[in-house]
Structure 1
Amino acid sequence: MLFDLHTHHDRCGHAVGKIEDYIQSAVEKGLHYIAISDHSPFFFSDEDQLHPRIAMAKSELASYVGEVLTLKEKYKDKIHVLLSLESDYFPEHEDIYRQNIAKHPFDFVIGSVHWVNDVSIFKKGRWDGLHEADRIRNKEDYYKLIQASAKSGIFQVLGHIDAMKGFYPEFTQIETPIIDETLKVISSEGVSIEVNTSGKTKDCGGWYPSNEILERALHFGVDISFGSDSHVPDRIGDDYLDVQKTLKEIGFREMVYYVEKKRQVVLL
């Protein structure tokens, strides 16, 4: 069974193509499920669209949901279309995100940490000049936010949990026990993590998370899902079969996806 739970489109301001382009690509590639999961608005902001090149406007959310549901019906004989959202996680704004997400019939929500200490994790140069203690602190701050997102109850899937390495591959060399601590929390909360193949488009190459983290995730009993994090239609389902093969080699026996917030299992 083929699925892709993490896709974007032009509403977010940095992806190419309409929602239907991604669905059509999924149909052409033989996928059984595709989730549309564009970046959530910055709900806490007084501005309608705080960052036009990062996420959709608050005023666009209802039309986004409506369009996905319309296309879900249109393509129901060809593919299962799931309604989702990739939501930022800001602990100080947890309630307003929870309230806004609850207004819509999402099949699941991806929780992704993109901001640590008010700086984007993808900002090039954020690591320049930092001493070892500062690098450790930044890495641990990142994973503490991921732990809090797992405990929030808002999300079913956690997105790209080592994406901070995207433009700083040395991130993986920063030694701290925080990753094992985080995986224990994720497991205890019953939330899944995704294998996200968009890491291959960044300086780090490869996937998020690393195979080493996936091995630890297996040890702690963490569920694994999949998302290409496509920002162009051609990347739908990218490396899915390779991901399945790798997961089997590591020792996983299943992957998961979600329909109406209910966990579904795909045997490997």
Structure 2
Amino acid sequence: MKFDLHTHHLRCGHAEGTIEDYIKSAIEAGLTAIGISDHSPYFAHELDRPQPRIAMARSEFADYVHEILGLKEKYKDRIEVLLGVESDFFPEHAHVYRTAYEVYPFDYIIGSVHQVGGVSIFNRNRWKGLSENRHVEDKTSYYRLIEQSARSGIFQVLGHIDAMKGYYPAFSDIAAHDAVDDALKAAADNRIAIEINTSGSTKDCGGWYPADAILERALHFGVDVTFGSDAHHPGRVGEDWELVRQRLKEIGFRHWVFYRQKRPVTVPL
């Protein structure tokens, strides 16, 4: 059983290709299931599309779901197409997002923290000139948000939980171990999976999200894991799937999961 739960497409404004392009690429890559999980609209914003190169418009969301459901039927004899979305997590707007998702038959929702203190986690300049204490505070804030997202009841998967290292590899060395552990415990307590996200290989940090040290802690706390390429180009679908599977086995994991109708499906490694 080979799956990829994290893919994007042209609606978000910074990915290439149609949804169908990703499905075809998944078939070529030998996947059994492909999840479509483009960036959710900013549901709580007054504008329909406040960030055209970040996320789809609110007015496009119903069409997004409808298109995936149609392709799910079209390709049902060749591959299982899963309805997903990558959702931002803003605790002050959690109810707005939860309400927006309730009307659709999602197989899973990925909860991702993309902003801390109103600044993108991928902003190359956010760490410049900060004291050591501020480094710890910002990393702690990031993992407190991830912990809250795990407890929110909205998500089945937590997205790229150390992606702050993407353009700042030294992030991994900032001491905030308690906050990381608290986020992992929350994931375990609420049966929320964390994804091994291979898009880190496209950033300055190289490698995957999260780091092996976090995966080892996740195993200790009993956190489920899943796979997502975070592909923004059809050619990356399923990238490094076999390498990730092997590494998880070396760390000590015995299975991983994907989601169907928000229920985990266990797949032996």
Same fold (TM over 0.5): yes
Q: Which residue does the alignment assign to 1:197?
A: 198
Give 1:116's aligned residue.
Answer: 116
Mapping for residues 187-266 of structure 1, pairs under 5 Å: 187-266=188-267
Query: Separation in 1 of the partners of 2:20 and 2:62?
Result: 17
Per the alignment, residue 96 of structure 2 pairs with 96
CA–CA distance in 1 between the matches of 2:81 and 2:127? 39
CA distance in 2 between counterparts of 1:262 and 1:185 reads 18
Tell me the distance in 2 between the aligned counterparts of 1:28 and 1:221: 33
Structure 2 unaligned spans of 5+ = none
Matched with 2:156 is 156
Aligned-partner Cα distance in 2 for 1:260–1:190: 15
Q: Distance in 2 between matches of 1:4 and 1:97?
A: 24
Once the two structures are aligned, what percentage of the paired residues are identical? 60
Task: Report deviation, 1:5.
Answer: 0.2
Aligned-CA RMSD value = 0.5
- Return the letter of the residue paired with 1:152: S
Cα-to-partner distance string for 1:191-229 (whole Å, 9 max, x where unaligned)? 110000000000000000001110110000000000000
1: CA distance, partners of 2:40 / 2:2: 25
Q: Structure 1: how far apart are the matches of 2:166 and 2:121?
A: 8
TM-score (norm. length: structure 2): 0.99
Correspondences of 1:1-268 after superposition (within 5 Å): 1-177=1-177, 178-268=179-269
Q: Which runs of 4+ in 1 moved over 6 A?
A: none
1:59-101 Cα offsets, whole Å, 9 max, x none, are 0000000000000011001000000000000000000000001
Question: Secondary structure of 2:195's partner?
Answer: strand
Q: How many residues were matched structurally? A: 268
Q: Supply the distance in 2 between the matched residues of 1:117 and 1:136 (Cα, whole angstroms).
A: 14
Question: 1:103 Cα shift?
Answer: 1.4
TM-score (norm 1): 0.99
Deviations 1:3-44 (A, max 9, x none): 000000000000000000000000111100000000000000
